[in-house]
A and B are shown apart, each in its own frame.
Chain A
Amino acid sequence: MSINRNNTSEKISSSIKDISRKIIRGLVFPVIILAIWEMAARQGVVDPYFLPSPSSISHTYIDMFGSGLLQQHLLISLQRLCYGFLIAVAVAIPMGVLVGKTRTFRHYVNPTLSFLQQIPPIAWIPIFMLWLGIDEASKVAVIVYAAFFPIFLNTVQGVISVDPKLIEVGRSFMLTTGEMIRRVYIPSAAMTIFVGLRLGLSNCWRALVGAELIAASSGLGSLIMDARNFSQADKIFVGIFTIGLAGLLIDFLLRRMESKLMPWKKMYKVGGNT
């Protein structure tokens, strides 16, 4: 008797078919919008000063890409994102485990955190600038703030909902507190934590662009602001699309990482995929 893995290749090819079908369906809507937009622009229905055609935007895109300007701004934004996100992860996950594991601690910090959670990251930018200057630090601080709550709250939730029966198994095998956290709590909460990571990442991507729009001399947000100052609508759109595409790519990479790190996750997908 052995687990039947013979039909695996069959499954993979059918899942590739599934995925490509999904991608095609997902592209239908954007393609229709772009086509209508392009036609409207060519017929002169809209003023290119306000709404340039997709083809002229793509020309600008290629120009900016060719000159390296776009990559330069994108890279700066991504760098800030990395720093801020990693700091947030390093703070939020340990704190989340601690708060999730200790009920009294939860009672102490919950109200404060609920209050802070209501404040959008952007509202902190002026004070962060006052404290940390207009350099990188204030932007990174905004990102940390934006990523912190989703990661923290999901970690707490994940740790609270660890199956007490598994904790008891850990106890019966005499795990120390450290082993218990490492071998039972963290892997148990991993899926929920990952949801937090994804939310946190998209949160801080948005907060970052917000921060760059308000106060920065580099990065995608500032690229958009510069373009606005010169009334270059095509460049504004290039910036906007790049933000969206980069965000999609980051989320995609994180999801890939998730399924690589957690092969057992498949069991939760038994009901079918979405």
Chain B
Amino acid sequence: MKSRLEVNNIGKTFYSDWGEVEALKSISFTSSKSEFISIVGPSGCGKTTLLRIIAGLEKPSTGEVLIEEIPVRGPGHDRAVVFQDPRLFPWLTVEQNAAFGIEDSNKDEAKSKLDNILQLVGLENFRKAYPYELSGGMAQRVAIARAFAFKPKVLLMDEPFSALDAQTRSRMQMELVDLWQQTAKSVILVTHDISEALLLGQRVLIMSSSPGIIKETIEVPFDYPRDVDSLEFIKLKKYITSRVY
């Protein structure tokens, strides 16, 4: 079976005035289908760097990333990133922001797809609003819509919900699972929140720092929607927590 995403022996060393820092060391994993992978680890373990390398925004020092067997040389149509902050363009309306990555947003086909996505993230009534009129949660949903509208095969998310309040966060986590199940994308979610990683991911990669390596991979045995209060969930969460710290 053709693998959708292959991360081969990725290493990254940063050079600065006070010496070298090995941020990532021999990171390897593959994903063959529309999988949801969570990556957790303590801050500074290089999980964001790993995501940026997969996105093509940063070059690895060693190794390579393959998307459907094609090596990553930079950003591409097969991937889209949702950053930690929404990063909307203040001069564009909600729908213009969401359509930012679409080549020709005037075509009827593209328009109906955009409608669809705005509906999925619950922003169809806000299409003409500007980012300054939105709450933090709404803005982040626009950023997610923008990434989905781009129709990537792999969606890369860097702590997309960390700036949100608890209620909005849990609503958006459920929305994300819905979106993912409807669109058959691969999702890689970087987070420092262990219950988030376990709530969303089919697989959880646990990283440790200096140098950043994958310490352990956990196959999550639960179906969606997951019950965070179940004994098995809590037990697994405790285990992962003990491995992270």
Chain A interface residues toward B at CB < 8 A: 1-3, 165-166, 168-169, 171-174, 183-184, 187-188, 190, 262-264, 266-267, 270
Known pairs A3-B126, A169-B83, A264-B91 / 10 extra A-B pairs, C-beta < 8 Å: A2-B126, A3-B125, A3-B129, A168-B57, A169-B89, A172-B56, A183-B100, A187-B89, A190-B91, A266-B132
Contact call A171/B57, Cβ cutoff below 8 A: yes
Question: Which of B56, B80, B83, B129 meets A165, CB within 8 Å?
Answer: B83
A165 surroundings in chain B (CB, below 8 A): 83, 85, 87
Contact call B77/A174, Cβ cutoff below 8 A: yes
Contact call B89/A172, Cβ cutoff below 8 A: no
Contact call A174/B75, Cβ cutoff below 8 A: yes
- Interface of chain B, main secondary structure: loop
Q: Does B150 lie at the interface of the complex (its beta carbon under 8 Å from any beta carbon of A)?
A: yes
The bracket for how many chain B residues form the interface is 20 to 34
Distance between B59 CB and nearest chain A CB, rounded to angstroms: 13
B57 surroundings in chain A (CB, below 8 A): 168, 171-172
B125 surroundings in chain A (CB, below 8 A): 1-3
Q: Does B90 lie at the interface of the complex (its beta carbon under 8 Å from any beta carbon of A)?
A: yes
A183 surroundings in chain B (CB, below 8 A): 100
Chain B interface residues toward A at CB < 8 A: 55-57, 74-77, 79-81, 83, 85, 87, 89-91, 100-101, 125-126, 129-133, 150
Contact call A262/B91, Cβ cutoff below 8 A: yes
- Given A3-B133, A172-B55, A172-B81, A267:B76 Cβ within 8 A: no
Question: Which of A1, A168, A264, A270 meets B90, CB within 8 Å?
Answer: A264
Contact call A174/B132, Cβ cutoff below 8 A: no
Distance between A262 CB and nearest chain B CB, rounded to angstroms: 7
A187 to B93, CA, bound (A): 13
Closest to B133 in A: A3
Contact call B80/A172, Cβ cutoff below 8 A: yes
Contact call B75/A171, Cβ cutoff below 8 A: yes
Interface CB pairs A-B, < 8 A, 20:
A2-B126, A3-B125, A166-B87, A166-B89, A168-B83, A168-B87, A169-B83, A169-B87, A172-B56, A172-B57, A172-B80, A173-B75, A173-B101, A184-B89, A187-B91, A188-B91, A262-B91, A264-B91, A264-B130, A264-B131
Distance between A172 CB and nearest chain B CB, rounded to angstroms: 5
A184 surroundings in chain B (CB, below 8 A): 89
Contact call B90/A267, Cβ cutoff below 8 A: yes
Question: Which of B83, B129, B131, B150 meets A173, CB within 8 Å?
Answer: B150
Closest to A186 in B: B91
A270 surroundings in chain B (CB, below 8 A): 132
